[in-house]
Amino acid sequence: MTTKTFVAKEQTVEHDWYVIDAADLVLGRVASEVATLLRGKHKPIFTPHVDCGDYIVVVNAAKLRVTGAKAQDKKYFRHSGYPGGIYETNFAKMQSRFPGRALLKAVKGMLPKGPLGYAMIKKLKIYAENTHPHSAQQPKEYTIKIAKQAK
């Protein structure tokens, strides 16, 4: 007797809402957990070519931290498209100017490239403070299963 492999259909997948409090958590550890939830790899119905993931609301993104000297050493680059038009900033400046953008860039790099990855990143909502406008969706509290490291 042979068993058929289960393949999730886009129409039948249910997307849940989760809220994650990122206060005093490490950037990379939060990003990897968020990418797993967005991708849907925590579900038994995971199918690589279907968006099985959930909606994620991250609050307190301004209170994210990095370990070691990465606050000054971690560089982010962007380019204007003109010759010599490269811009460089570090984690501390980016967090103070655009809280949560470092988390967005970290999660985006962990998702698949192409239309499926673009659809997944749209389900990530990041807020610098403790409040968010998604209470109507009744998001469940999600705790990151990684231990907080000593500073």
Instruction: Quote the tokens at residue 37.
Output: 């939830």
Residue 151 in this model has a pLDDT that exceeds 60: no
Instruction: Quote the tokens at residue 145.
Output: 């299963």
Please classify residue 110 by burial: count the beta carbons closer than 10 Å to its beta carbon, then call 0-12 exposed, 13-18 middle and 19+ buried: middle
Strands 75-79 vs 86-90: parallel, antiparallel or unpaired: antiparallel
- Average per-residue pLDDT for the chain: 94
Residue 122 in this model has a pLDDT that exceeds 80: yes
CA distances, 144 to each of 19, 48, 78 (Å): 11, 23, 30
CB atoms within 10 A of CB 146: 12
Residue 107 in this model has a pLDDT that exceeds 70: yes
For 69-83, the pLDDT digits (tens) are: 999 999 999 999 999
Cα–Cα–Cα angle for 135, 138, 144, nearest 5°?
100
pTM equals 0.90
Residue 1 in this model has a pLDDT that exceeds 90: no
Q: Domain 17-141 belongs to what topology?
A: Ribosomal Protein L13p; Chain: A; (3.90.1180)
**Radius of gyration of the chain measured on its C-alpha atoms:** 17
For 44-71, the pLDDT digits (tens) are: 999 999 999 999 999 999 999 999 999 9
User: What is the chain's length?
Assistant: 151
Provide the pLDDT for residue 149.
54
For 22-43, the pLDDT digits (tens) are: 999 999 999 999 999 999 999 9
The domain ranges of the chain are 17-141
Provide the pLDDT for residue 150.
55
Instruction: Quote the tokens at residue 110.
Output: 């962990």
